């Protein structure tokens, strides 16, 4: 990868600010989208890390913070995620794979599923304002379904009907599935 690209990530914020004032070339417009894609992904990663820490008990459970993290992921999933990776998918600096254009239904399905799990987590926070209740925990029978590339059951399980912790694990599998299929492997 060329050093310009590596340097780019540090310039994202600046680029977003400057974009409004510049006579945007097509190339620059591409780069703004790439910056936004990577910004959204990083924000989701930070949010997921917080939720994970609350389940692990390394961060005290706080319903408001839990909900805020779930809402961050919800806001950056679904339609917004689909639109951000609309054509042209491939642009300078992006790790988005051209396979997104070839299999958009699967990409969009994963983006929508991400939103469904995030919504379930957000609602779980509303329902559990004072503490991480035992019913939020994964039960003995909840399998994690054999990894990101496991074949899905015909009827997808309803995120609202599973414990929050299970929904969280399924959500992380959605992240991993999409990256495995649609993100170019980094060096
Ligand atoms: C529907 C597909 C899809 C889903 C779901 C998805 N991602 Fe991504 N993610 C991508 C693609 C494509 C890229 C490459 C973006 C780029 O380089 O322009 C990416 C990149 C990233 C990056 C690297 C960002 C950077 O700075 O280059 C992180 C971190 C990340 N994703 C975290 C997550 C987390 C956490 C989740 C789940 C909560 C998630 N992603 C869900 C498709 C997805």
Closest listed residue to residue 174, CA positions, set 11, 44, 21 = 44
107 ligand 1 Cβ < 6 A: yes
Supply 78's token pair. 């679904």
175 ligand 1 Cβ < 6 A: yes
Closest approach atom of ligand 1 to CA 182: 12
Which residue CA neighbors atom 21 of ligand 1 most closely?
A: 41
Q: What pLDDT does residue 65 have?
A: 98
Q: What pLDDT does residue 155 have?
A: 66
Closest approach atom of ligand 1 to CA 34: 18
Q: What pLDDT does residue 150 have?
A: 57
Which residue CA neighbors atom 22 of ligand 1 most closely?
A: 41
Segments in the chain below pLDDT 70: 1-30, 141-155, 187
CA of 41 to the centre of ligand 1 (A): 5
111 ligand 1 Cβ < 6 A: yes
Q: What pLDDT does residue 31 have?
A: 74
94 ligand 1 Cβ < 6 A: yes
Closest listed residue to residue 132, CA positions, set 41, 76, 67 = 67
Cα–Cα distance between 81 and 111 in angstroms, integer? Answer: 6
Q: What pLDDT does residue 142 have?
A: 63
* Ligand 1 pocket: which of 13, 39, 41, 105 to mutate (most atoms within 8 A of CB): 41
Percent of the chain at pLDDT exceeding 90: 71
Q: Is 63 exposed, middle or buried (0-12, 13-18, 19+ CB in 10 A)?
A: middle
Closest approach atom of ligand 1 to CA 82: 1
Supply 46's token pair. 């930070």
b/e map 157-168, b = 16+ CB within 10 Å: eebeebbbbbbb
Supply 172's token pair. 């992380």
* Ligand 1 pocket: which of 179, 181, 186 to mutate (most atoms within 8 A of CB): 179
> Which residues are CB-contacts of 75 (< 8 A; sequence separation ≥ 6)?
none
Q: What pLDDT does residue 187 have?
A: 54
Closest listed residue to residue 48, CA positions, set 141, 118, 146, 142 = 118
pLDDT digit string (tens) for 10-32?
544 444 444 444 444 455 566 79
């Amino acid at each position: 990868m060329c050093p310009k690209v590596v340097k780019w990530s540090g310039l994202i914020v600046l680029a977003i600010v400057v974009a409004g004032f510049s006579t945007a070339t097509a190339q620059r417009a591409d780069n703004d989208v790439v910056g936004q894609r990577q910004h959204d992904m990083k924000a989701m990663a930070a949010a997921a890390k917080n939720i994970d820490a609350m389940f692990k008990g390394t961060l005290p459970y706080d319903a408001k913070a839990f909900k805020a993290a779930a809402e961050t992921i919800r806001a950056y999933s679904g339609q917004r995620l689909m639109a951000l990776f609309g054509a042209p998918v491939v642009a300078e600096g992006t790790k988005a794979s051209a396979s997104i254009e070839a299999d958009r239904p699967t990409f969009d399905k994963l983006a929508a599923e991400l939103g469904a799990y995030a919504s379930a987590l957000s609602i779980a926070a509303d329902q559990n304002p004072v503490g991480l209740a035992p019913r939020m925990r994964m039960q003995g029978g909840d399998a994690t379904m054999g990894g990101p590339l496991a074949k899905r059951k015909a009827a997808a399980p309803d995120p609202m009907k599973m414990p929050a912790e299970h929904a969280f694990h399924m959500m992380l599998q959605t992240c991993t599935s999409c990256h495995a299929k649609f993100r170019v492997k980094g060096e």
